[in-house]
Structure 1
């Protein structure tokens, strides 16, 4: 089932020209490619520095900016290996699938609805993990990991935009696609993920205010 075939055009949106960007294959494809590449590179850089830290525990990593923002400090805690291996390896693997789908969308491929829902499930799990690690890093460990923050900044918008796509395209069912509240929230996906990221940024600033106060 193709994402655009689940509902008639007039049910998905009144005027095709005003459709949300998440329903345009090329736009969504570019977004998935860009966010996946950035997230993959951040995860890869973090993995490289993790192994550098294992070889030389005293090494100062490129992301060790100061006592408040330091990947190396976070790596010393068991939460950096939740499943028995470095968390960054999950990121390296996880960003490949949305990258592939983004490329297929740009190539004009017809992506079945169930595949997009599968991507949504994966991103939901990834976002849950990201929020858990955000809490652990900022509030328990008390140190921010710069590369991790890049991954957070890519994962959350990707999750919100794919959720919006599936809601508007009818992949969650015609009831959700026609629900006025669901449609408004889905169409305001950019505002939602920007607000989400701003809340995270505000939490970081408040928690590390002693550092940020020195910048003024």
Structure 2
């Protein structure tokens, strides 16, 4: 009985024990769909409230929870429009692509390598952007944006999962696909993005301890 599985596109033999969930079209496709829909809805909600704020600067938005967590307060800063238009419009457009790929995976379509690498590059840029906005929001502005946090919470796991998929599937080349360290890190993708999000959560709790201490 053959104990290996060959991926046709890549000429790379993948051992059964490395068959992470990110290599299974159904689970990976569902993940991309769910994460994309959540990110899209959060971005759309932000866009709606941004225009509400423009119409009425004194409007109290649904995400204005308290002085520590308020989308409206963050929207008043230049960083909310890094490219000359509201940042949330980037999310509305950006989450469409992984959503489409998730649907295609569920439909059994074969996604070309260059498309998956392109998705990875886009998510890498998106992750850099959300980490920059996380730093500015929490440490410089001093106010957390609830809907922004939802976007962070889906963008980072998507980046980690797609990177793991591309590494294990051979989309980054044979060398990375067969590298023991890359394979181990890729297989532990869930642990990596959970740890990443826990670090972000810990930073938020420490920075806003005056608020969280009142909840204890």
Q: Same fold (TM over 0.5)?
A: yes
TM-score normalised according to structure 2 size: 0.95
Aligned-partner Cα distance in 1 for 2:108–2:116: 15
Aligned partner of 1:157 in structure 2 is 157
Unmatched 5+ stretches in structure 1: none
Aligned-partner Cα distance in 1 for 2:16–2:71: 48
Matches within 5 A, 1:16-95: 19-95=19-95
Aligned partner of 1:191 in structure 2 is 191
Unmatched 5+ stretches in structure 2: 1-6
Aligned-partner Cα distance in 1 for 2:11–2:192: 25
Matches within 5 A, 1:79-158: 79-158=79-158
Deviation at 1:15, TM superposition (A): 1.9
Q: What SS class does the counterpart of residue 210 from structure 2 fall into?
A: helix
TM-score normalised according to structure 1 size: 0.95
CA distance 1:104–1:210, shift in 2 (3 Å): same
Aligned partner of 1:7 in structure 2 is 11
The answer to whether residue 176 in structure 2 is matched with residue 176 in structure 1 is: yes
Aligned partner of 2:3 in structure 1 is none
RCO higher in structure (CA 8 A, sep ≥6): 1
Q: What SS class does the counterpart of residue 158 from structure 1 fall into?
A: helix
- Contact conserved, 1:7 with 1:169, CA < 8 A, in 2? no
Deviation at 1:7, TM superposition (A): 3.2
Aligned length: 210
Aligned-partner Cα distance in 2 for 1:15–1:94: 33
Q: What SS class does the counterpart of residue 36 from structure 2 fall into?
A: helix
Aligned-partner Cα distance in 1 for 2:121–2:161: 13
Runs of 4 or more consecutive aligned structure 1 residues displaced over 2 Å after TM superposition: none
Deviation at 1:5, TM superposition (A): 2.5
1:138-176 per-residue CA deviation (whole Å, 9 max, x = no partner) reads 000000000000000000000000000000000000000
